[in-house]
Amino acid sequence: MPWIVGVSGASGTPYAAAVLRALLGAGEAVDLVVSRASRLTLLDETGISFRDAHWQDDLREWLARGADGKPGTFDVDLGGVRYWNAGDLAAGPSSGSYPAKGMLIVPASTACVAGVALGLSKDLLQRTASVTLKERRTLVVAVRETPLNGQTLRHLVALDDAGASVVPASPAFYAGATHIQDLVDFVAGRVLDAAGVEHGLYRRWRGGLGGGSTRQEQ
């Protein structure tokens, strides 16, 4: 069964690329939904125009790119990917009878957070998220915005109440990051942690600050 990955129009397309690479590297099948707005962030952040007719070429170029923008940094096999147009509300993932392990929305815009919290289903991405909740499957929402207003905070509480895991795209600095990619991989790793997918994207906290600290993994 596939994981469904929804990419919405928040800044942070490198987070999506890192999650997709890790899922595929772990041998997971992936169904991909890319919102209309996320094509703008992808264009802005990578220079890539995502085209339905050439999605494999564009996705390959995107996933090969490092967080520093360097092309050809990663080698990715897209064999496990199925792509769905976000406007296609008759697509497989729009039904609860479509088999899926769950859904990861990375990055999640505040508009997407609102749409899912209110059950708007304005496109395939939002509809699939609502389906994921109603089927009691894993839904991980990697929201990216700052600061957050009260409205978005209330929507995030509603998502948490509905069973979703809210994983803010906020990198930590305890894992020894030296490059942008390390910070991106930390967020991607925490998204995968919330979904229970094994990965080696970041160095876990094992306790100890050189002074015998008893702190546990965070």
**Cα 180 from chain centroid?**
17
Q: How far apart are the first and last CA of the chain?
A: 30
Candidates 23, 28, 38, 63: give the one binding ligand FMN (CB under 6 A): 38
Task: Select from 22-30, 32-40, 53-61, 195-203 the region that touches ligand FMN (CB under 6 A).
Answer: 32-40
Euclidean distance between CA atoms 120 and 139, whole angstroms: 16
Tokens of 128: 């699939």
Q: Of 44 and 77, which CB lies nearer to ligand FMN in the complex structure?
A: 44
Q: By the 8 A CB rule, do 139 and 194 touch?
A: no
Q: Is 69 in the site for ligand FMN (CB under 6 A)?
A: no
Torsion of CA 153, 159, 162, 165, to 10 degrees: -110
* CA-based nearest residue to 16, from 144, 165, 152, 164: 144
* DSSP assigned state of 52: G
Three-class secondary structure of residue 33 per DSSP? strand
Q: Is 9 in the site for ligand FMN (CB under 6 A)?
A: yes
Euclidean distance between CA atoms 71 and 102, whole angstroms: 30
Q: Is 10 in the site for ligand FMN (CB under 6 A)?
A: yes
Candidates 22, 59, 103, 112: give the one binding ligand FMN (CB under 6 A): 112
Task: Select from 2-10, 88-96, 171-179, 196-204 the region that touches ligand FMN (CB under 6 A).
Answer: 2-10
Candidates 14, 19, 35, 141: give the one binding ligand FMN (CB under 6 A): 35
Q: Is 46 in the site for ligand FMN (CB under 6 A)?
A: no
Candidates 110, 128, 132, 165: give the one binding ligand FMN (CB under 6 A): 110
Q: Is 44 in the site for ligand FMN (CB under 6 A)?
A: yes
User: Is residue 103 exposed (0-12), middle (13-18) or buried (19+ Cβ within 10 Å)?
Assistant: buried
Task: Select from 9-17, 19-27, 160-168, 207-215 the region that touches ligand FMN (CB under 6 A).
Answer: 9-17
The identity of residue 138, as a single letter, is T
Candidates 4, 20, 22, 37: give the one binding ligand FMN (CB under 6 A): 37
Task: Select from 104-112, 173-181, 189-197, 208-216 the region that touches ligand FMN (CB under 6 A).
Answer: 104-112
Tokens of 85: 């147009």
Contact residues toward ligand FMN (CB under 6 A) are: 8-11, 35, 37-38, 40-41, 44, 109-112, 144-145
